[in-house]
Amino acid sequence: MQSRASRFPPSQSILRGGLAVFCSLLLLQYQFVAVAQQAAPPAGGAAAPAAQKLPPEQLDSLVAPIALYPDPLLAQTLVASTYPLEIIQLQQWMAKNKGLKDKALADAVAKQPWDPSIQSMAAFPDVVKRLADDVQWTTDLGNAFLAQQSDVMDAVQRMRKKAADNGALKSDDKQKVQTEVIEQKTVIVVEPANPEVIYVPSYSPTVVYGAPVYPYPPIYYPPYPPGAGLVTFGFGMMMGAAIWGGSCCNAGWGGNNVNINVNNNFNKINHNTGGGRNNSWQHNPQHRGAAPYSDKATANKFGGQARGEAPRSSQQAAGGGRTGGAGGKPSAGTMDRGGAGGAGGARAGGAGAAPSAGATNRGAAGGGGGDRIGSQNVPKASPSKAGGMGGGSSGYSGSSARSSSSRGASSMSSHGGGGSRGGGGGRRR
């Protein structure tokens, strides 16, 4: 019998061998190209990092202290929380101007270089104190709102439903609570009973919502006097057109966004709010100062830096400004390093100097520690029971909440057309 090799002429054997080698080379080339395409970044540079998302249960706990605020105050608080350094500046400014009230207060704060949401907050000193005393929670709230605006609005609705089911959220002489269908969404709307007056609710999240999956922010909650309801109220804040023009904004439940109030006096001063255009709020990073964003994706969106990143050259340059003279204002990014017993006031020098955008205070009474916003130290006030809004926070960052879960121009867009609901904020959508 002939051997297998002898069945074919030598020329055919060589041809078959060469064909096999050629096919093997083609296969190797294809595999190399496929691997290279998977490893290579897309055209235009490196792949953009994905934003870090907080789970719904963590967002629920994050918004718990403000979810029952009337819609105009809720929207204004969410917007203001995206500018934590200006909140600190506002608190310091108000401490130095305690004698200003009503129209005099509104006129004086209008001269400060802050975002309209921050200027409008001067009408709510108790809320300002809460946001400033617990600046880490405030920063985390603002970061979550920037990265997950729609999710944050959904979290507010979930917490309102829990409170309503427990009998803690209902209409009275200070607020109107209604369940409405807006753009095919069923939402709980909370509005002031009198559009000219806003009452700030005070409550314990554990009492009105029940036990959390993630811990509630570690801030001071007021005790309940005998016979008091689950939610109590302080003095009403006059937000009429003659003084404030209503809150800066209102909740747009249809689009899960925030609508600006074009009739707010500070919006009128700072913006061209012509009618007939989109009135959705847009974050303005110019009022962010040196406060970092929560992740690289959000930082890239607004041209800032993420946590852990070194400040960009433009931000370093902005922080180096020094101006002198009595009554002068330091440039954006300067910091008030004087504290109680330090008499220094603003580093810019000169009596009456007020810190401007990006400023913060590195001194605390007695040199005590305090919270941090990025690389900035901010003073931590001692807990206060005034109005149930005091208290200091040891921090409510995403990482700290996750680790403990096992135990349980201006930012108001120049687009107008929002209108006002009796001075209480922009029109809902």
Q: What is the pLDDT along the chain (429 residues), one digit of tens a residue?
A: 544 444 555 555 555 665 565 555 555 454 444 444 444 444 444 555 666 799 999 999 999 999 999 999 999 999 999 999 999 999 999 999 999 999 999 999 999 999 999 999 999 999 999 999 999 999 999 999 999 999 999 999 999 999 999 999 999 999 999 999 998 899 999 999 999 999 999 999 999 999 999 999 987 776 766 667 789 998 899 998 889 999 999 999 999 999 999 889 888 777 543 333 458 899 999 999 888 898 889 889 888 888 777 665 544 444 333 333 333 333 333 333 333 333 333 333 333 334 443 343 433 333 334 455 655 555 554 444 333 333 344 444 444 444 444 333 444 444 444 443 434 444 454
Q: Residue 304: its pLDDT value, please? A: 86
Distance (Å, whole) CA 365 – CA 381:
9
Q: Are 359 and 85 in contact (CB under 8 A)?
A: yes
Distance (Å, whole) CA 335 – CA 338:
9
Distance (Å, whole) CA 86 – CA 114:
7
Give the C-alpha distances (Å, rounded to integers) separating 348 from 69, 87, 147, 203, 357.
Answer: 38, 19, 34, 41, 13
Q: Residue 101: its pLDDT value, please? A: 93
Q: What tokens appear for 421 in the block? A: 């609901």
DSSP string of 242-282?
TTT-S-SEEEETTTTEEEE-TTSHHHHHH---BTTS--B--
User: Which of 337, 336, 361, 142 has the alpha carbon at shortest distance from 370?
Assistant: 361
pTM exceeds 0.85, yes or no = no
3-state helix, strand, coil in the chain (%, to 5): 40, 10, 50
How many CB atoms sit inside 10 A of residue 104's CB? 12
Q: Residue 313: its pLDDT value, please? A: 53
CA atoms within 13 A on the CB side of 366: 6
Give the C-alpha distances (Å, rounded to integers) separating 138 from 55, 60, 130, 368, 395.
Answer: 18, 14, 9, 20, 9
Distance (Å, whole) CA 34 – CA 36:
5
Give the C-alpha distances (Å, rounded to integers) separating 418 from 5, 19, 26, 274.
Answer: 88, 73, 63, 10
Q: Are 109 and 101 in contact (CB under 8 A)?
A: no
Q: Residue 295: its pLDDT value, please? A: 87
Distance (Å, whole) CA 84 – CA 65:
17
Q: Residue 326: its pLDDT value, please? A: 34
CA 365 to chain CA mean position, Å: 27
In sequence order, the 6+-apart residues with CB closer than 8 A to the CB of 202 are: 222, 231, 232, 233, 234, 387, 388, 389
